[in-house]
Structure 1
Amino acid sequence: MGDTQWENCGAETLLEEFFAQDDLRQLAESAGKILDCPLLVLDDTFHVAAYRLPQGFSDELFQNVVSCGEITYEAGVLISRSPALSEGRADFLQLPGSPYPRRFALLVSAGVQLGCLICVDTDGHLEKIPAQTWELVERILAKQLFVEASRQDKPFETAEDILMHLLDGGFSSAAYFQLQAANTYLADFHPRTFALVDLAAYHSVYAGKRRLKEALEARLPDSHPFLYKGDVFLFLHEDEDAQAFDDLAEEFHLKVLISEPLDELFDLPKLYPTAREALELMRDERFHGERVCSAAQLRIPLLLKNLEGRGGLISVELRRLAAHDREKNTQYCETLYYYLICCRSLKKTCDALYTHRNTVLYRIRRLQEDFDIPLDDPSFHADLLLGVSLILFENKGPDFFLHTPKNEA
């Protein structure tokens, strides 16, 4: 019997097993035999739901995942940020710590992403398996995950499951959330804030001996870190917890966003979108600020980011001013910005710009006389401040609004 015939026969057997029994582990074992490879079936929290580990196969990374019951942060990031996977296509990726490439494919049923299938390519044959075989195997495994996830009487298995369901907006009321959390540590859990950790530039200096997760759990023992939508999510209790991130961020090449204060856990879905948006801003190539920022620090840049490209909101006078700055390499926009936020205090404006008093006076006079900026009419100040802030955000980037720059006179 040819390979294709054997695969088709095996796929039919898998289909029969799906209808005959209700066992994801057995289906994963049968799928692994059909595909002739070690494999992992992950749920939507990146935990191992089932696996096949053939006798004689040795791969430390694979075996550690099976032992721990979850994949590493690095692998989770690859899944979350793979362009192919985001478009619904499978992707072959090489993970640090293993000589074998892996085929990643999302498991989707009824339009819902339920998990991921990871197959280890030990000899290069996975790319030769027909697309229809992959399609059937993935559809059957996804359907079984869907069946298990759809059981109304199935409780949440872990506090992490509850938190992810909460972040996904799955609880209709605080009372329902509290009922589900009653038998977990969440029942009496009152963190001050939460943090999102970007792993795009993550680097482990321990070469597999000590991973980021172990470092987080050791230095922030009550933070309960887990992977959510490609970022590490964890809780902070004291100001010292936030300070501990400075060393971690430097050591592991992280970017960390600390949320606004959290009154109660049920408020997580309200605060999370802004926190995620702020972390995205920190990923912007124009962002060169600190590795650790708070959402409060990024409020103004976030507001301006949401208005980026709205040049029609900027007055003609300010657009002329910005053009002059670009052409002549002057600093009239910055002078106007600081003059307004310093409540038209000449001394504070000079201090902010690190510029001599006479120079600032000259610029202010030109703003009024040459560029028709109505500084003497308070009713225009809000419009001027918003317009010049949009200009500076576009020209200077978000960093301009995080620190007072030392500009040249």
Structure 2
Amino acid sequence: MDLLVDRAAEVLKNPIAVFDKNYYTVSYSDTTDVQDEVWTAGKKRGYCLFEYAAMLHGVESMRGTPLPFQIFDDWGPHRRRICPLISNSLTIGYLSVLEYHTAFDAVPGEIYDLVAGVLVKELTIEQAIRLSHQHDSAEMLLSSILNEGFANRALFLQRILGTVFEQAGPYSLIGINMHAFSSRVSGERHFKARLGTIFPKAWSLFFREYVVLLVECGKSRQIPQDGLQQLEGYLSEHDLCAGISDTFSDLYEIRRYFNQAAMAEKMARISGSDARIAQYDDYRLWRLAASIPAEQRTDYVSAFLRNLMAYDIDNQSDYVKTLFIYLKNGQSLALTAQELHVHRNTVVYRIEKMRERFGGVFDSPYHNFQNFFGCLLLLTSDGQPGSTDYFDTI
């Protein structure tokens, strides 16, 4: 691979680097004459910074377009041309080209495509070889588990023997959504290092569009509160959000807990919560609602709520939205008004209209729960059934 990468750099007339799908360095071309501190630091590090990994992941959106690459100019003094390496419709790595010796436009696009095709073939072989060897680090082992790289539990248990995970635990998993992250947010790029200072007993890696943080909880079975407070401040500074899974001890099930964290983060955004960190424990009912197929959801929406929904569609009113927030806030008029950004009397008027016009009952815990769950069904299906998204402003 190293020899091939050096030859590819000669063809492209610029230094290149190849990363695998887990954002670890596969190979760099010869960099003895490269005076770009960010580029050379990446080679020494052996893996991508989370900020750079988020940038690489963002290139996925270019797939299937006439321009399957992206050029970045905010990572050091020289531009980078990033291209996903795709095999059988799956991204298996990334090619990064540094505009150092020759302008990008001076090399025909077909040459880039040719180089990428050759690298895909070699990287496929390289990855097959790597799978037959021991993993290089705790993070790479975690990456393998997240990617469901073990055929069965017996192979997994054999692999963790003698590692830091053999006796460790319990854990909780934090998933930080990096989808909207921009490297332009801050000139300082040290996300991984910062996480290491906040949670000394933790391992972090980039998976899909998330920074995944596996935190060892110890006897308390909880993530340290001071760490969560520091993390919340950091997330707020960079306009990021995160979800937290249940506490667990079985690393073989880590993918399940990643899904919990990702679901909590997603549902918190859908609900309009302004919290930077969402606990999965607060969104179990939301996940249940989201799991019901869209075509079956009307079966679980009360007649009262369906009538309310039809009225909203015909009159462009906000009764369903008001009901959802009213029930979510424990029927507090003040909190509902605050969240809707309306006067308290407006909420009183709408609730009374729901009683008089539609026969709403708000003193029955059963009916309140049924209607709240019906609102969740509408919310988690982007306004279905019907063509109007009642919650587009939440």
1:318 to 2:305 alignment = yes
Task: Provide the rounded CA distance (Å) in 1 between the counterparts of 2:393 and 2:171.
Answer: 27
1:303 Cα offset (Å): 4.3
Matched ranges for 1:84-123 at <5 A: 84-87=61-64, 90-122=68-100
1:305 Cα offset (Å): 5.0
The superposition leaves residues 241-292 of structure 1 with CA deviations (integer Å, 9 ceiling, x where unpaired) of 33332222233332121112223211112222232233334555x7342111
Equivalent pairs counted in the alignment come to: 370
Task: Provide the rounded CA distance (Å) in 2 between the counterparts of 1:340 and 1:281.
Answer: 14
Task: Provide the rounded CA distance (Å) in 2 between the counterparts of 1:103 and 1:328.
Answer: 47
Task: Provide the rounded CA distance (Å) in 1 between the counterparts of 2:366 and 2:239.
Answer: 46
Name the structure 1 match of 2:155: 176
Name the structure 1 match of 2:18: 41
Name the structure 2 match of 1:224: 203
**Conservation of the 8 A alpha-carbon contact between 2:235 and 2:276:** yes
- Structure 1 residue matching 2:28: 3-state secondary structure: strand
Name the structure 2 match of 1:249: 235
Name the structure 1 match of 2:251: 265
Name the structure 2 match of 1:298: 283
- Structure 2 residue matching 1:185: 3-state secondary structure: coil
Task: Provide the rounded CA distance (Å) in 2 between the counterparts of 1:167 and 1:35.
Answer: 35
1:334 Cα offset (Å): 4.4
Matched ranges for 1:322-401 at <5 A: 322=309, 327=315, 334=322, 367=354, 370-373=357-360, 383-390=370-377, 394=383, 397=391
Q: CA 1:350 to 1:183, structure 2 compared with 1: closer, same or farther past 3 Å? A: same
1:66 Cα offset (Å): 0.8
- 2:82 corresponds to which letter in structure 1? F
Name the structure 1 match of 2:145: 166
1:154 to 2:133 alignment = yes
Residue among 183, 191, 204 paired with 1:212: 191
Give structure 2 stretches of 5+ with no counterpart. Answer: 218-222, 339-344, 384-388
Between 1:296-305 and 1:365-374, the stretch displaced more is: 365-374
**Conservation of the 8 A alpha-carbon contact between 1:84 and 1:91:** no
Q: CA 1:399 to 1:307, structure 2 compared with 1: closer, same or farther past 3 Å? A: farther
Q: CA 1:57 to 1:193, structure 2 compared with 1: closer, same or farther past 3 Å? A: same
Q: CA 1:96 to 1:189, structure 2 compared with 1: closer, same or farther past 3 Å? A: farther
Taking only aligned residues, the RMSD between alpha carbons, in angstroms, comes to 4.0
Task: Provide the rounded CA distance (Å) in 2 between the counterparts of 1:71 and 1:250.
Answer: 23
**Conservation of the 8 A alpha-carbon contact between 1:191 and 1:235:** no
- 2:95 corresponds to which letter in structure 1? L
- Structure 2 residue matching 1:225: 3-state secondary structure: strand
Task: Provide the rounded CA distance (Å) in 1 between the counterparts of 2:78 and 2:282.
Answer: 43
- Structure 2 residue matching 1:41: 3-state secondary structure: strand
**Conservation of the 8 A alpha-carbon contact between 2:37 and 2:76:** yes
Residue among 276, 287, 294 paired with 2:262: 276
Name the structure 2 match of 1:26: 3
- 1:257 corresponds to which letter in structure 2? G
TM-score, normalisation: structure 1: 0.75
Task: Provide the rounded CA distance (Å) in 1 between the counterparts of 2:254 and 2:74.
Answer: 33
Name the structure 1 match of 2:39: 62
Task: Provide the rounded CA distance (Å) in 2 between the counterparts of 1:129 and 1:28.
Answer: 17
Name the structure 1 match of 2:342: none
Task: Provide the rounded CA distance (Å) in 1 between the counterparts of 2:293 and 2:203.
Answer: 36
Q: CA 1:301 to 1:106, structure 2 compared with 1: closer, same or farther past 3 Å? A: same
- Structure 1 residue matching 2:11: 3-state secondary structure: helix
Task: Provide the rounded CA distance (Å) in 1 between the counterparts of 2:392 and 2:5.
Answer: 48
Name the structure 1 match of 2:29: 52
**Which of the pair has more CA radius of gyration?**
1
1:374 Cα offset (Å): 6.9
Task: Provide the rounded CA distance (Å) in 1 between the counterparts of 2:16 and 2:328.
Answer: 61
**Conservation of the 8 A alpha-carbon contact between 1:332 and 1:367:** no
**Conservation of the 8 A alpha-carbon contact between 2:59 and 2:83:** no
- 2:5 corresponds to which letter in structure 1? A
Task: Provide the rounded CA distance (Å) in 1 between the counterparts of 2:325 and 2:262.
Answer: 28
Percent of aligned pairs with the same residue?
20
**Conservation of the 8 A alpha-carbon contact between 2:173 and 2:257:** no
Q: CA 1:376 to 1:96, structure 2 compared with 1: closer, same or farther past 3 Å? A: closer
1:123 Cα offset (Å): 5.8
Task: Provide the rounded CA distance (Å) in 1 between the counterparts of 2:393 and 2:157.
Answer: 40
TM-score, normalisation: structure 2: 0.77
The superposition leaves residues 4-49 of structure 1 with CA deviations (integer Å, 9 ceiling, x where unpaired) of xxxxxxxxxxxxxxxxxxxx11111111111110110112221111
Q: CA 1:163 to 1:377, structure 2 compared with 1: closer, same or farther past 3 Å? A: closer
1:195 to 2:181 alignment = no
Residue among 260, 272, 276 paired with 1:287: 272
Task: Provide the rounded CA distance (Å) in 2 between the counterparts of 1:337 and 1:62.
Answer: 50
- 2:74 corresponds to which letter in structure 1? P
1:129 Cα offset (Å): 2.6
- Structure 1 residue matching 2:255: 3-state secondary structure: helix
